[in-house]
Structure 1
Amino acid sequence: MPVTSVESDVEALTMTLVADFPVGPERLWAVFTDPRQLERFWGPPGWPATFDVFDFRVGGRATYFMTSPQGERAGGTWEFTAIDEPYGFEAIDSFGDEHGAPIEGMPSMRMVFTFEATPQGSRLVNVSHFASADALEQVVAMGAVEGSTLAMNQLDAVLQGLREFAQGKGTQLEILDDQHVRITRLIDGPRELVWRAHVDPELMRQWMLGPDGWRMSVSEVDVSVGGEYRIAWEPEAGTEGEGFGFDGRTVLIDEPRRIVQTEHMTGTDYPSTINDLSLYEEDGATLVTLLIEYPDAATRDAVLATGMVDGMEQSFQRMERVVLG
C-alpha cells in the first residue's frame, strides 16, 4: 500500500499523510491536477468523488461531491492559494453545500501538497493545517485518517494505467476492513458492453454462471432505482449441488459507471450485503470494481470461504469468451 503514515499533531495543529510511489513527481502532479483522474481516488471506497468545477489557478476554485452507496452526498470546495508546478500546490479545503459554497460552522483547513523525488520514484506529503485543536479533533473524529488512507491507497491503479496494473492478474480480492472487501477484474472490452452484461438478463444467463455445469434458472432484473431483482441457479444433469439464488433491490444507478444493489440469499434469514459495482474504461479495457459491505467480519469470512472469488473468475472468463469474444 502506498500510504506509509498518517499522523495528527495537536500542538502543531496539523495532520500529515505520507505516501510513496514508483513514478516521478511529474506523474503525481498530473494526477492531482486533472479532475478526471482525481475522481478515481479522491473519495474513499464507496464514496467516489465527482468534480464539477476545477479552475486550477491561484484564486481559482474547485468543487466536488462524494456519493455514498445509499446516494447520500458530501461536498467539498478548494480555493487554490499557491501553485508550484510540478512540485506542489496549496488550497483552502472546506466542507461544501449543494451549491459548492463553504458550510458555516464546519472547519476549514489549509492543505499543502508536496511531490518530492526519491530514489524509487516520488513521495507525496500532504499536510493539513487547522485553525484550532477543536477543528483538528473534529475532522479526525469524522474518520479523516481512515478515509484519507483508503483513498490514497487507490492511487496505484491510476498512476500505472489499467492494463499495467491489472491485466493478467485475474480476479483480485482485497479485504479492506471487517465489513468491506474490494474485488477487481480487468475486462478486455468496452464499458458499455460490460455494463450491459451486468444488467441485461439475457446476457447474464450467458456468463454469470460460476463453475461449469450450472445454469441460471431465474433472471428477473429491474435496474431502476428502487427496482427489485431475483436471480437463481441450478445444477445441470450430472452436476452435484443444490440450487440457490439471490434477491434484492437497486439503491443507486449511474449508467454506465455505477450501480449499487442490496443482495440477500433467497429463502434464508441471512443478512443482506450492499454490492457497489463501478466500471472504468481506459484504452479499450474496463476495470470492474465490486465493493461489498457485510454486516460483520463473521459473515464476510463465511461468504469468502464458499469459493466466491474463484467462481467469479470463471464467470469473468466466460464473459470474455461468450459476450465480448
Structure 2
Amino acid sequence: MPVTDVTTDAEALTMTLTADFTAPVERLWEVFTDPRQLERFWGPPGYPATFTSFDLTVGGHARYLMTGPKGEKYHATWEFLEIDGPHSLAVLDSFADENGNVREDMPTSRMTLAFEPTASGARLESVTRFTSAEALEQVVAMGMVEGSTMAINQLDRVLQGLRDYAAGKGTQTEILDDTHVRITRLIEGPIDLVWRAHQEPELLEKWMLGPDGWRMSVCEVDPSVGGRYRYEWEPIEGTEGERFGFDGETLLSEAPRRAVTTEHMTGTDYPSTLNDLNLEEEDGATLITLLIEYPDMQTRDMVLATGMTDGMETSYARLEGVLASV
C-alpha cells in the first residue's frame, strides 16, 4: 500500500500522512490538480468524491461532495492558498453546506501537499494543521485517519492506469478492515455494456453463474432506487448441490458508474450485506470494484471461506465472452 505512515501531533495540532509512489512528481501533481482524476481516489471506499467546481488559482475555490452508500451527501470546499507546481499545494479545507457555504460548526484546517522525488518515484507528504486540539480530536473521532489512509491507498490505480494496475490479474480480493472487503476485476469492454450486464436479466442469466455446472433459474431485477431483485441458482444434472438464492433492494443507482444494493440469502435469517458496485472505464476496458460491507468479521470470514473469489472469477471470465457477442 502507498501510505507508509500517518501520525497526529496534539501539540503541533497536525495530522501528517506520508505515501510513496513509483510515479514521478509531475504525475502526482497532475492527479491532484485535475478534478476528474481526483474523483477517482479522493473519497475513501464507499464515499466517492464528485468535484462540482475547481478554480485552480490562488484565492480560487474547489467544491466537492462525497456520496455514501445510502445516498448520504457530505459537502466540502477548498480555498487555494499556495500553488507551486509541481512541488506543493496548500488549501484551506472546510466542511460546507449544500450551497458551498463554510459550516461554522465544523473545523476548518490548512492542508499542505508536498511532492518530492525519490529514487523509485515520488513521495507525498500531506500535513493538515488545525486551529485547536479540540478540532483535531473531533476529526480523528470522525475517522479522518482511517478515511485518508484508505483514500490515498486507492491512488496507485489512477497513477498506473487501469490496464497496468489490473490486467491479467483476475479477480482480486482485499480485506480492508473487520467488515469491509474490496473485490476488483478488469473487464475487456466499455462501461455502458458492463453496466447493462449487471442490470438486465437477459444478460445476467448468461454470466452470473459461478462455477460451471449451475444455472440461474430465477432472475428478477428492478434496478431503480427502492426496487428489489431476486436471483436463484440450481445445479444442472450431474452437479452436486442444493438450490439457493439471494434477494435485496437497490439503495443507490448512478448509471453507468455506481449501484448500491443490499444482499440477503433467501430463506435464511442471515444478516444482509451492503454491496457497493463501482465502474471505471479506460482505453476500452472497465474496472469493476465491488465493496462489500459485512455485519461482522465472523460473517466476512465465513463467506470468504466458501471460495467466493474463485466463483466470481469464473463468472467474470464468462462475462467477457458475453460482452464480446453483444
TM-score by length of 2: 0.99
CA–CA separation in structure 2 for the residues paired with 1:131 and 1:322: 56
Matched, 1:79 2:79: yes
Match of 1:259 in 2: 259
Consecutive unaligned residues in structure 1, runs of 5 or more: none
Matched, 1:233 2:233: yes
Match of 1:142 in 2: 142
CA–CA separation in structure 1 for the residues paired with 2:143 and 2:165: 28
Specify the SS of the correspondent of 2:140. helix
- What is the aligned residue count? 325
CA–CA separation in structure 1 for the residues paired with 2:152 and 2:127: 14
Q: Is the 8 A contact 1:56 1:80 kept in 2?
A: yes
CA–CA separation in structure 2 for the residues paired with 1:186 and 1:220: 26
CA–CA separation in structure 1 for the residues paired with 2:20 and 2:240: 49
Specify the SS of the correspondent of 2:211. coil
Q: Is the 8 A contact 2:257 2:280 kept in 1?
A: yes
1:230, distance to aligned residue in structure 2 (A) = 0.3
CA–CA separation in structure 1 for the residues paired with 2:105 and 2:191: 42
CA–CA separation in structure 1 for the residues paired with 2:82 and 2:41: 23
Matching residue's letter, 1:292? I
1:100, distance to aligned residue in structure 2 (A) = 1.3
Match of 1:173 in 2: 173
Identity of aligned residues (%): 69
Matched, 1:12 2:9: no
Q: Is the 8 A contact 1:206 1:323 kept in 2?
A: no
CA–CA separation in structure 2 for the residues paired with 1:206 and 1:138: 49
Question: What is the RMSD of the two structures over their aligned residues, measured on CA atoms?
Answer: 0.6
Q: Is the 8 A contact 2:62 2:77 kept in 1?
A: yes
Match of 1:208 in 2: 208
1:323, distance to aligned residue in structure 2 (A) = 2.9
Specify the SS of the correspondent of 2:138. helix
Specify the SS of the correspondent of 1:324. helix
Matched, 1:314 2:310: no
CA–CA separation in structure 1 for the residues paired with 2:323 and 2:86: 43
Match of 2:126 in 1: 126
Segments of 4+ moved more than 3 angstroms: none
CA–CA separation in structure 2 for the residues paired with 1:107 and 1:321: 51
Q: Is the 8 A contact 2:47 2:69 kept in 1?
A: yes
CA–CA separation in structure 2 for the residues paired with 1:238 and 1:127: 61
Per-residue CA deviation, residues 15-69 of structure 1 (Å, 9 max, x unaligned), is 1000000011000000000000000110000000000010011010000000010
1:188-227 matched pairs, under 5 angstroms: 188-227=188-227
Matched, 1:97 2:97: yes
